[in-house]
Structure 1
């Protein structure tokens, strides 16, 4: 069996062999991930279609054309194992292997729910953490007193100076295709758009009350938690329909308007930011939004995100608040003309009916392309989002 770099999109012509998950000459199981490749848009894993012995042709770090054979798997003869032999270890995704190492979970004891019995990151989370006992050194376990000189180095007053030929303290690493693509798009945005940002703030008291009231039932019924993002997606759909210029883009001398809302949700990945798209978000219910976002997060962790998941967005939302950001200026995702920035929820004093009260407040930022969106429309759009999230009952009942 030949391992080829698959086609992942019309505009993708080459890929980086990021790393091999198995060594040259190693035995691999059917459906086991053997290689990780990167393009300028996504990272994905290549799985073995058959069980056998791996031969690596293209080493890690090499950039190859789409369709290139980067490895082969020679089918291994099937033979019964000797009596008492240990069963083959189940295939494990890289994200599950990393998470298991962090949480000290024994992978061998976890039943895999993925394809071919593969252990996924979700399986590791369900299994929970198991502390690993670390044996104490013999000296510590001994009940006999230890002389000072036996376990401590005597102080040295006259030490020789450090040599001048120290190791360099800088490293030079080639940018990954995804990082190069991100850099190019950011510079393109700066050069080719007239980007401005307007700000507002929203009181999230009523959203928090709704989440506390309905979250347990929501989780039991739909299998996902009721998060902030679904409220903001629905609010943005309302605002986009009221201010269609924010949902449009420029194509030559034309303005292309969209009578649907394909909302891109910015999600931080290990190798860069990706923005999968919720298609026809105005038609989705709250639970469908939360389920799709959770599915995107799983795909990103397991390097299964497809090019189709990233295409066709008309507007984007970025939540810097999950990282603790209080206020920022989100950057446009061309050719889109608008992006909403959400931030951390913070208890702050505000004036209500002549009284100073404490409310959970969030700063909101809308970056927009001033070539197509006027300041009046941008301010009106953000004000409409604020009104929807401050009075979310209608959105929630409809969604």
Structure 2
């Protein structure tokens, strides 16, 4: 029985999507609920799975094609087992035989046999297929085999080969050549670019700076890290302290926790803090909802959960909608100081940076302290300079004396 493969029903805020990757090809068998195609929107990647055991009968929308909500992208034949497309007849049979002969040739020559999805994943991660033990039929290397190999290399601190920077296309370079490669911008990156340009053009954006002595928090982490891990099963990081400090500061300065809607200023009686996460596809900002009610362990667990989902491309739209304030940490990449751009319609964003030991004057003496520059970009239409500076100072004071967070002073 032949059925239609349709794009998922997009949320109201998403107009259309793009076929990102076909994980199965016509005539290729797949199991029920197995991933067959990814649809990329300007917010998330939506996965379409097989409705039953069978084969892909026809691909209607190819990779890179634009699709609308619920549009047919292909056809699926239920119950079939590795059949070729009927419409192609004998010509398709010849095509079907070719890969088999090629597979035999590859096996005879000692080269690995890969599924199309596995081959693509191997190429993306610079993995030599011959170094992977295949678990599929006839020793075929599956996508899961490649992923397990990549994860194993990362966990052991090694890598199968040097990898290019995230999102940068690979270009082979020969002596004396000036190669170029043109690739279309993904929907997510195009959406990010549009929002950033809009933020700079529509807001009266300013940035104020301060610096914080990270020694107290570093000592606190060192003292309680082992106990914290035993009790909560997760490490105590810096982001949870910054989130709690920002939450308390937002209560004291409501304008920083507000948003602008046309000519209206919307004040929020809750704190939903977005945490910027960098992925291969671009920057995404999942939201920690009601951060005031979250403990340090809750925050750390949620951040790890979001980070894992972001890496796997499984963040849902509801994970990233809303948010009254944003924190971004360029320090993990080595940034010493920067001016973060607003995340509309929010009116402020806090930038964390690299912890750098610097000579500081303390009570008339020079001491070497682990210092971090803080940056607060804000919309001057909503927030006065005095409020912005006082907000940043409040965060600085709470981080340098964490007891202030508990005592609300």
Give the stretch that moved more between structures: 175-184 or 66-75: 66-75
Q: Identify the match of residue 311 of structure 2 among 301, 312, 318.
A: 301
TM value normalised by structure 2: 0.77
Write the deviation string for residues 161-181 of structure 1: whole angstroms up to 9, x where unpaired: x9xxx9772232221111111
Is 1:199 matched with 2:204?
A: no
Structure 1 contact 248–258 (Cα < 8 Å) conserved:
yes
Gaps of 5+ in 2: 83-114, 136-143, 161-173
Q: Distance in 1 between matches of 2:205 and 2:269?
A: 23
Q: Distance in 2 between matches of 1:352 and 1:53?
A: 71
Per-residue deviation, 1:98: 6.5
What stretches of structure 1 move > 4 A for 4+ residues in a row?
94-109, 118-133
Alignment partner, residue 47 of structure 1: 49
Gaps of 5+ in 1: 80-88, 110-117, 134-161
Per-residue deviation, 1:66: 1.1
- Cα 1:23–1:330, aligned 2, differ >3 Å: closer, same or farther? same
Is 1:66 matched with 2:66?
A: no
Q: Distance in 2 between matches of 1:32 and 1:397?
A: 52
Alignment partner, residue 375 of structure 1: 385
Report how many residues are paired: 352
Alignment partner, residue 13 of structure 1: 15
SS of corresponding position for 1:316: strand
Per-residue deviation, 1:44: 3.1
Write the deviation string for residues 288-317 of structure 1: whole angstroms up to 9, x where unpaired: 111111111111122211111111111000
SS of corresponding position for 1:359: strand
SS of corresponding position for 1:300: helix
Structure 1 contact 202–389 (Cα < 8 Å) conserved:
yes
Aligned-residue CA RMSD in angstroms? 3.5
Alignment partner, residue 96 of structure 2: none
Alignment partner, residue 343 of structure 2: 333
Q: Distance in 2 between matches of 1:269 and 1:222?
A: 27
Structure 2 contact 16–69 (Cα < 8 Å) conserved:
yes
* 1:348-367 superposed matches below 5 A: 348-367=358-377
Per-residue deviation, 1:121: 6.8
Structure 2 contact 29–81 (Cα < 8 Å) conserved:
no
Alignment partner, residue 254 of structure 1: 264
SS of corresponding position for 1:44: strand
Between the two structures, name the one with larger relative contact order (CA 8 Å, sep ≥ 6): 1
Structure 2 contact 37–48 (Cα < 8 Å) conserved:
yes
Per-residue deviation, 1:26: 1.5
TM value normalised by structure 1: 0.79
